Amino acid sequence: MFLASVPLLAQQPDDLAARIRASLLPEEQRNLLAASFSTKNYARMEEILDRQAGAAGASPVAAELHALAGNAAFLNGRMDRAILAFRQADSQVPLGESDRFMLAMALANLSDTKAAREQLTRLNNSHPDRPLYLYWLAKVDYFERLYMEAVEKLKRVVLLDPTSARAYDSLGLAYDMLGQSDEAREALLKAVDLNRKLPNPSAWPPHNLGYLLLRLRETKDAENALRESLKYDPKFATAHYHLGRTLEAEDRDNEAIDEYRVAISLDPALIEPLYSLGLLYRRHNRSAEADAAFAEYKKLKAVGEQ
């Protein structure tokens, strides 16, 4: 869905560690859980917690163990299992705020936007001044192509948190989908500026700005933004691809070819660089290389359509 990776957690690792220490498990089991957590052996955590929760029956203790198992499953990338564990916990004792958020994120990861929206709405109604839940409700809107609704929510988010780079980034993307290029540019410029001030800047805001500027044919500024994106993540294949398109638009074909090749090497499933590379080879009468690029493009496209 819209979650490429684990989002910002409502619950930080130290909180989970504290919950493990505070659980009413035997000391040996707590130590095993703590050791598994510290080494990121989330599968082992799931196994221990599932067994102990089953033995605890229907009780507040079991509810907490199911909730911890849900967190472990989420961290282990098993969203279906996380949802089941959180649902089991919620049926015994209403989930706490952080666990309900993780349930919403697990549902979103499996593209169950209706159920994710229900959980996020519940959280947002209880905490209307917390931008986190409103932000993710806007992300659900965006995924469902409700761009006007997303804009309205994100405008509220940036009022609540004026330093949120990702909120401005999402706002810019929503404006872009509405065809409001000036508003999109303004929001993305703000996102890029805020992003630079973060301890670990994301490659996405400058990429998104660069891609917008490329489409607006402002190639010099697009190049600068895309190079900034790649400074933060040199292995960002899509940024290399869009930089290649930008360089090609500036008649810097040899550099563009290099960028297309890098994009292909970093992400073989990204087929657009192959097509662009084939067209560029063809324009330079490099027929054999063009044919090879187009053949690989067609093969991967057919695989993706199966």
Q: Which residue from 94, 104, 87, 77 is spatially nearest to 11, judged by alpha carbons? A: 104
For residue 141, the model assigns a pLDDT of: 97
pTM of the model: 0.89
pLDDT digits (tens, 9 = 90+) for 165-217: 999 999 999 999 999 999 999 999 999 999 999 999 999 999 999 999 999 99
Under 8 Å CB-to-CB from 304, ≥6 apart: which residues?
Answer: 269, 271
* Mean pLDDT in order along the chain per 10 residues (306 residues): 45 74 86 91 92 82 92 94 96 94 96 97 96 97 97 98 97 98 98 98 98 98 98 98 98 98 96 97 97 95 83
The encoded tokens of residue 84 equal: 């089941």
- For 147-178, what is each residue's pLDDT tens digit? 999 999 999 999 999 999 999 999 999 999 99
Going along the chain from its start, the domains and CATH numbers come out as 8-124 (1.25.40.10), 128-198 (1.25.40.10), 232-306 (1.25.40.10)
Rounded to whole angstroms, how far apart are CA atoms 103 and 131? 18
Helix, strand or coil, per DSSP, at residue 230: helix
DSSP class per residue in 31-57:
HHHHHHHHTT-HHHHHHHHHHHHHHH-
Which is nearest to 151 in space by CA: 174, 134, 119? 174
